[in-house]
A = this chain, B = another copy of it.
Amino acid sequence: MLPRKDLFELPEGVIYLDGNSLGPLPKGAQERAMRTISQEWGGELIRAWNSADWMSLPQKVGDRIAGLIGAAPGSVATGDTLSIKVYQALAAALKMRPGRKVILSDKGNFPTDLYMAQGLIKTLDAGYELRTPAPEDVADAITDEVAVVMLTQVDYRSGRLHDMQAITEKAHAAGAVMIWDLAHSAGALPVDLAGSNAEFAVGCTYKYLNGGPGAPAFIYARPDIVEDVEPALAGWLGHAAPFAMDPAYSPAMSTERLRVGTPPVVQLSLLDAALDVWDGVSLSDIRAASIDLCETFIAEVEARCPMVTLASPRDAQQRGSQVSFAFDPGYPVVQALIDHGVIGDFRAPNIMRFGFTPLYIDQADVIRAAEILETIMTEGLWKDPKYHQVSKVT
């Protein structure tokens, strides 16, 4: 049954519509962090790698994430950041298609995905090219020049949803490798990763998975190709036998080869505890509730605030778990909303973005948020100079 607000520490008087940027604190997570820091690190010291089984934590957490994205146990490795995981997937994919020189993404992809591709291309210095057509033109841009198609399923600005199955099929028909970035998908909607047959997926865990600020990322490699994956970032914890201290790298015979360095044990423990909120939750139920929340918000905002323009697909089937509205002075409006207890965020140049997370948001929250937006808009509260001051993170 949704919501499960009692499982989260939510500040009084706040309607939190930014779980697509940073999920809130699950109640069990703080206690778990204390145990990891005080009892395990403090009390066990180096022994905790064995006695508290820190060594298995990355794999354990990976298996739990696998269960939320339609992947088999053992096929998801955790650690590092999403940027690093993008690089690993891209570098491995290019090696799998020698002779092909095009990385295909879309111009709406999250910047770091595009940046990592640009950095890899410069590093390789071998004639690779990044193509970024408009999202709606991606499918037609998949030609036999394309080595790898790398897309984020849910657009971070608009919430537009790519058709994972159709694009993956098209990529494969053209002989390309498929990489999905699930940053705004994991925990937001059902994902059938194994069913899509994509070779790689990556994602972060601090959004809908509520792992906390800077929580570790994940990477999936399709089990049947793992042994063809050449790790560019050949770190010791991806080695077949890390503690043999062999001077020659030889990769683990599993997705573990996509691990790199020493795991961030404290953040992994927080994430592990955060994943408890998913016990017994169906992602189909989450998706249905999310669509209801989004539809309500769109209807309420459009009825109350004619000056804003829906910047997300109107068709719920084409949309992730967020709703965006375009409004040129969107930045001060979002600051005014935050000041009035409704936390959304702003993405340049003019997008007011609201995430809907049925674990802790209900219909009453959504209607109240629309009412507050209406007040801010119709009374012009956003014009107060204090809302125009630009902060580091918008």
Give the interface of A toward B (CB within 8 A).
9, 11, 14, 16, 18, 21-22, 24-25, 29-30, 33-34, 36-38, 40-43, 45-50, 54-56, 79-84, 87, 91, 95, 107, 110-112, 114-116, 118-120, 122-126, 132, 204, 206, 212-217, 230-237, 239, 242-249, 260-268, 270, 338, 343, 345, 347-348, 391-394
Contact = CB atoms under 8 A, between A and B. Distances in A.
22 contacts: A22-B41, A24-B45, A25-B37, A29-B37, A37-B212, A48-B213, A55-B393, A56-B392, A80-B81, A81-B262, A82-B262, A83-B236, A111-B245, A111-B247, A115-B235, A116-B233, A116-B234, A118-B234, A122-B232, A123-B123, A215-B264, A264-B267
Contact of A91 (B47, B123, B242, B270): B123
A266 B33 contact: yes
A197 to B, nearest CB: 26
A18 B246 CA distance: 22
Contact of A33 (B33, B80, B114, B239): B33
A247 B84 contact: no
In the complex, the count of this chain's copies comes to 2
A9 B24 contact: no
A261 B394 contact: no
B37 A112 contact: no
A345 to B, nearest CB: 7
Contacts of A233: 83-84, 87, 116, 119
A354 to B, nearest CB: 12
Contacts of A391: 50
A115 B83 contact: no
A101 to B, nearest CB: 14
A37 B30 contact: yes
A234 B119 contact: yes
Nearest to A109: B247
Contacts of A56: 392
Contacts of A95: 123
Nearest to A118: B249
B33 A232 contact: no
Task: Return the 10 tightest CB-CB contacts between A and B, nearest first.
Answer: A81-B261, A119-B234, A213-B265, A214-B264, A112-B236, A83-B261, A83-B235, A25-B42, A49-B393, A115-B249
A184 to B, nearest CB: 14
Given A46-B343, A249-B115, A212 B243 contact: no
Contacts of A33: 33-34, 37, 266
A232 B123 contact: yes
A347 B22 CA distance: 40
